[in-house]
Amino acid sequence: MSTILELKHLKKNFGQIEVLKDVNLKIEKGEVASIIGPSGSGKSTMLRCINLLEEPTGGDILYHDKSILTKGYDLCQYRSRVGMVFQSFNLFENMTVLENCIIAQVKVHGINRDDASKTALKYLESVGMLDRKDAKPSQLSGGQKQRVAIARALCMNPEVLLFDEPTSALDPQLVGEVLEVMTDLAKSGMTMIVVTHEMDFARDVSNRVCFMDKGVIVEENSPHELFENPKEERTKEFLQRFIK
């Protein structure tokens, strides 16, 4: 196994508020790690620090054993290897589905439009959205938008994909189609860090579940151990509220 990402004593403050206190996490290649925990515990902030949408206040982030926070580190390259899928899709509303999947390939990677288009069509097919390639996001359901957002992230050829509650904004009947795409992706060997409240996904698809509370990872284990035999009181309380 090789470690792709490592968070070491990661800290993030917003003014006086310590949101991430001391987060330690290692992600191995091909691993699917689910992050669970109450609202406000710092899950989104952790993901946003990993892809540097937020600047960490302290600690370190290693990518293939090298600190990305070192001066002179190629952040452009790093950002394109670490994809993100947001709760609110963040598609470009004025562009078609296909164009959404092409634009960053051309602008960020300098790929020619024909090749970018081929890649886009391939990933739109893989998420079952090829037939809607000419639609605008406003013409799609939430589940379809999220599948397009996943295809768009895949078009950048990421090594790791971060998901921030990708199904939380969806009507319940649309959650399944997105989880199905994510499950296929996990089976294909993609390395994934998934913040989620979908406990079935965390249990059945991930290799590891991390319970986060108040800015630290309180406990992490295999899904079976964490759900059946949580060791920490805070984990037990949280799980009791979620799992009947």
Ligand X SMILES: Nc1ncnc2c1ncn2[C@@H]1O[C@H](COP(=O)(O)OP(=O)(O)O)[C@@H](O)[C@H]1O
Interface contacts to ligand X, rule CB under 6 A:
14, 17, 19, 37, 39-45
The whole-angstrom separation of Cα 23 and Cα 186 is: 24
When the beta carbons of 43 and 152 are compared against Mg ion, the nearer one is 43
The whole-angstrom separation of Cα 64 and Cα 161 is: 15
Strand pairing category for 160-164 and 82-85: parallel
Q: Give me the sign of the Cα torsion angle 28, 219, 39, 54.
A: negative
CB of 67 to ligand X, least distance (A): 22
19 binds, among Mg ion, ligand X, none (CB under 5 to 8 A by kind): ligand X
Beta bridge partners of 108: none
Which residue of this chain has its Cβ atom nearest to Mg ion in the complex? 44
CB of 52 to Mg ion, least distance (A): 17
When the beta carbons of 97 and 179 are compared against Mg ion, the nearer one is 179
CB of 98 to ligand X, least distance (A): 31
Q: Quick check: 45 binds Mg ion (CB under 5 A)? A: no
The whole-angstrom separation of Cα 128 and Cα 126 is: 6
CB of 47 to Mg ion, least distance (A): 8
Q: Give me the sign of the Cα torsion angle 219, 221, 226, 231.
A: negative
CB of 161 to Mg ion, least distance (A): 16
- DSSP-assigned letter for residue 196: -
Phi first, then psi: give them for residue 79, nearest 5 degrees.
-60, -35
Q: Nearest CA to 4 among 156, 150, 161, 152? A: 161
CB of 45 to Mg ion, least distance (A): 8
When the beta carbons of 43 and 133 are compared against Mg ion, the nearer one is 43
When the beta carbons of 21 and 136 are compared against ligand X, the nearer one is 21
Q: Quick check: 44 binds Mg ion (CB under 5 A)? A: yes
* 92-121: contacts with Mg ion (CB under 5 A): none
Given a contact cutoff of 8 angstroms between Cβ atoms, the answer to whether 13 and 57 are in contact is yes
Options 39-47, 70-78, 99-107, 235-243: segment touching Mg ion (CB under 5 A):
39-47
112 binds, among ligand X, Mg ion, none (CB under 5 to 8 A by kind): none
From residue 24, how far is each of 43, 50, 61, 148, 183 by CA, in Å?
Answer: 13, 12, 10, 32, 26
Site residues, Mg ion (CB under 5 A): 43-44
